[in-house]
């Protein structure tokens, strides 16, 4: 006999008949990665389509119907703080396990967790570092207080009396850049001091050694979109300053042990791990084979580039299945910290509520992409025109969710 099925969504009701037996498969085989700035909020102002979109992603108990991770390049707060903010904005409960900050992948760098590290950034950097697993940390402010003669740009902050004998600080073994600091001149000066003294900034600068002590950076965004009419400086701009000062002084390139945050493969690999963890916690048996990255554009080389770069990574890994595993170089040692990805592709969906101008044209000739209007990516990432084209362009995040449900035939 036929069974009449009634589907109710909001005020709409649809009925159809189906022949028994009826099998409803509600387990997702996909996961969602949401950018925050420009997708869900603009500065501190919620984008109207966000609440509407997320009502479609949860059931009546507030449980997500699909695994969701919020991937942000912000790094100035704890994951729980960001989760609380998102809960307020979206009207659905968000847990910290669903939040991916730019610094989250530092959990994988366990070889540094017991080393003395210098932290640059703002917000509760000590709490953030402790939460990530670091046990010996020195902040820029702590370093400045211990060695007050190092910070001399601001005349009002120079010591008024002769400082007491310098405090014996432990040798700094690595530098971590969490995000843009408040006093750029202080951070730039003291970080350079640490790099040129092999971690002992109370000493005189030494001839540059190669390599210098490890430097790990989170968030490479050159600019980001807030309430102002034009984009604002991001941490990537601070990094440009640091790189050029180091090269101007030493004649050598500044080297990074790791670059985290979008667009790095490391970040998307960790986000995919969080997606798989959510699916396992819900006891969903279907493997997550497709990721959808719902993104806005602060710049082409961050958002679209990152999702497409990870898609290329997944394709390359898939092609190696059954063949000899490639050697993991020093900069990809993070791959050994996580189980292999189950996803086989990552699709990018661009929304038009951020910086993106749908009428702007991206040059197809790589020679033209040297202009600052297009190439805003970090120095260490090569421009590839194929990686800055989104798979889909939609009006807003609500339209993106509708598109994904259609593509996956998912209700």
Domain segments of the chain: what residues? 106-259, 287-321+330-350+390-410
Backbone angles phi, psi at 150, to 5 degrees: -80, -30
Radius of gyration of the chain (CA): 24
The listed CATH number (3.10.180.10, 3.40.50.1000, 3.30.70.2190, 1.10.10.10) that belongs to domain 106-259: 3.40.50.1000
**Cα–Cα nearest to 172, from 142, 150, 152:** 142
Q: What is the pLDDT along the chain (411 residues), one digit of tens a residue?
A: 444 445 555 555 555 555 544 444 478 999 999 999 889 998 788 999 999 999 999 999 999 999 999 999 888 899 999 999 999 999 999 999 999 999 999 999 999 999 999 999 999 999 999 999 999 999 999 999 999 999 999 988 888 887 776 677 899 999 999 999 999 999 999 999 999 999 999 999 998 877 899 999 999 988 877 778 888 899 999 999 999 999 999 999 999 999 999 889 999 999 999 999 999 999 999 999 999 999 987 555 667 888 999 999 999 887 765 444 444 444 455 556 667 788 999 999 999 886 555 544 544 444 443 333 456 778 888 777 788 888 999 999 999 999 999 999 997
Could you tell me if 23 and 61 are in contact, meaning their C-beta atoms sit under 8 angstroms apart?
no
Candidates 93, 82, 84; CA nearest to 55 is 93
Q: What is the pTM of this model?
A: 0.81
Q: Is the peptide bond before 364 cis (omega within 30 degrees of 0)?
A: no
């Amino acid at each position: 006999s036929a069974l009449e099925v009634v589907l109710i969504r909001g005020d709409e009701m649809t009925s159809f008949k189906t022949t028994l037996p009826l099998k409803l498969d509600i387990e997702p085989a996909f996961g969602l990665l949401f950018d925050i700035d420009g997708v869900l909020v603009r500065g501190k102002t919620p984008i109207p389509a966000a609440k509407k979109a997320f009502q479609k992603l949860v059931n009546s108990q507030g449980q997500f119907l699909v695994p969701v991770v919020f991937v942000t390049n912000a790094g100035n707060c704890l994951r729980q703080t960001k989760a609380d903010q998102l809960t307020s904005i979206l009207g659905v409960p968000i847990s910290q396990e669903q939040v991916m900050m730019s610094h989250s992948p530092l959990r994988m760098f366990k070889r540094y967790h017991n080393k003395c590290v210098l932290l640059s950034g703002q917000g509760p950097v000590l709490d953030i570092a402790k939460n990530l697993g670091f046990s010996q940390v020195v902040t820029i402010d702590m370093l400045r207080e211990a060695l007050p003669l190092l910070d001399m740009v601001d005349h009002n902050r120079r010591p008024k009396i002769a400082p007491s004998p310098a405090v014996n600080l432990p040798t700094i073994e690595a530098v971590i850049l969490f995000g843009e600091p408040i006093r750029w001149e202080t951070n730039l000066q003291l970080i350079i001091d640490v790099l040129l003294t092999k971690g002992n900034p109370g000493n005189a600068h030494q001839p540059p050694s190669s390599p210098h002590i490890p430097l790990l950076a989170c968030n490479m965004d050159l600019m980001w979109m807030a309430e102002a009419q034009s984009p604002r400086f991001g941490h990537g701009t601070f990094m440009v300053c640091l790189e050029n000062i180091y090269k101007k002084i030493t004649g050598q390139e500044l080297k990074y042990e790791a670059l985290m945050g979008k667009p790095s493969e490391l970040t998307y690999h960790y986000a995919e791990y969080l997606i798989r963890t959510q699916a396992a916690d819900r006891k969903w048996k279907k493997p997550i084979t497709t990721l959808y990255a719902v993104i806005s554009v602060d710049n082409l080389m961050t958002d679209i580039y990152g999702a497409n770069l990870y898609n290329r990574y997944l394709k390359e890994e898939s092609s190696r299945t059954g063949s000899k595993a490639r050697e993991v170089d020093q900069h990809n040692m993070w791959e050994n910290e996580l189980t292999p990805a189950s996803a086989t592709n990552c699709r990018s969906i661009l929304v038009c509520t951020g910086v993106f101008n749908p009428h702007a044209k991206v040059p197809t000739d790589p020679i033209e992409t040297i202009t600052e209007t297009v190439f805003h990516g970090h120095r260490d990432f090569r421009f590839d025109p194929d990686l800055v084209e989104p798979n889909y362009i939609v009006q807003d995040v609500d339209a993106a969710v509708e598109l994904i449900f259609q593509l996956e035939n998912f209700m």
